[in-house]
Amino acid sequence: MHSGRRNGAVNVSVAKGRTDMTPSRASGRRHAFQPKMGPSMNTLHNMQIFVRVVEARSFTAAAESLGISPGSASRAMNELEAHLRIRLLNRTTRRIALTAAGAEYLERCREILADIAKAEEDIAGSRVSPSGVLRIHSFASFGQHYVVPAVSEYRRRYPDVKIELRLSQDIPDLLDGSCDSSILAVSSLPDSDAVQVRLGSTFDVLCASPAYLSTHGVPTEPADLQSHECLTLSTPTFAQRVWHFHGPQGNERLTFDSALQLDNAEALAATIRQGIGIGALPVHTALSGLSDGSLVRILPDRTVGSREICAVHPSRRFVDARTRTWLDLLRTYMPLALERNHAQISALNGPPSGPTTVEPVLVGEGRSHRAPDVVLTH
């Protein structure tokens, strides 16, 4: 429709999604909107009504399309103009006309509402179809043996998801938004507001080198270790200077002075191979040395410690598709991987029987992998 120019108005010809405007005398100036306070959900609602009123060319038609009363639509316009402290529409009983400020504000409203709609669409899509970036944390040694193969399998299934994997001994703050999921191996589940998904449990085995044992003798009871050089892992989740043994004799506890502390399981294994002393190694770290004979298991009828394997993520509500599918994979993959390694370590209690390959357990159909799109940070 067309209207004559008066009262600082602009002529409008409105169709859905588009407004053609002939500027008023004041249209050459940009209007400085000065709202009383920052935008709120009510302001966004009023913006929607404003746009619909212009597109529908009347309050009655706009109200009907929005499922509200014409009075509610009129009040929304009054609230919006009062909030902005500027008139957006000149209106009579027969027609409405955008002011120059209203025409400028209309375009901004359309951009804002379109951005909001796109954001909601993207977020809703991320809850259904995995895409975007999945940020994962795990401890260095555990992550290399278990999480990296799981990441490769996940990427094979969900190629649209990029992975950022951080391997660190420090447990991240999951509530600061820097991490979507942390896979932990801990003596007890952490006391946290984050959601914990239990994936299984594992243990350590006591190891020494053949050269060390030939020089210092072979311990046959935990108490014998008091006269040996004991090496330990020193991390936030490993008890230092104390070993808890589990076996046919029940539970036994040994406190000792550590001759050497290291913060990495692979480094500890290398030190033990050098004949420096005896140390408790995670199953996945001990397997290769026990199989090739560079390590010997001490007190083979006992395990050392017990650690829960859990995946921790920030929220129980509104879990996005990336995190949900990652947790689903871990629930299947991790118990199988742990069970396989535990069976291998039990088979190696006797004399070394030749090299044993520690292979990742991959679940699902097919075993071919494209190169994973993974960022490793230390």
Q: Where are the domains of the chain?
A: 11-126, 132-377
- State how far the Cα of 243 lies from the Cα of 171, in Å rounded to an integer: 23
Q: Which fold has domain 11-126?
A: Arc Repressor Mutant, subunit A (1.10.10)
Q: Which residue has the tokens 């936030």?
A: 236
Has this prediction a pTM greater than 0.85? no
Largest CA distance in the chain: 106
Q: Is a pLDDT exceeding 60 seen at residue 27?
A: no
Q: Is a pLDDT exceeding 80 seen at residue 350?
A: no
CATH level 2 (architecture), domain 132-377: 3-Layer(aba) Sandwich (3.40)
Of 376, 343, 344, 363, the closest CA to residue 143 belongs to 376
User: Residues near 40 by Cβ (< 8 Å), separated by ≥ 6?
Assistant: none
- State how far the Cα of 197 lies from the Cα of 319, in Å rounded to an integer: 13
∠ CA 205-211-212, nearest 5°, is 60
Backbone angles phi, psi at 165, to 5 degrees: -110, 120
Q: Is a pLDDT exceeding 80 seen at residue 377?
A: no
What is the pLDDT averaged over residues 96-114? 92
pLDDT band at 20; cut points 50, 70, 90: very low
Higher-scoring residue by pLDDT: 44, 176: 44
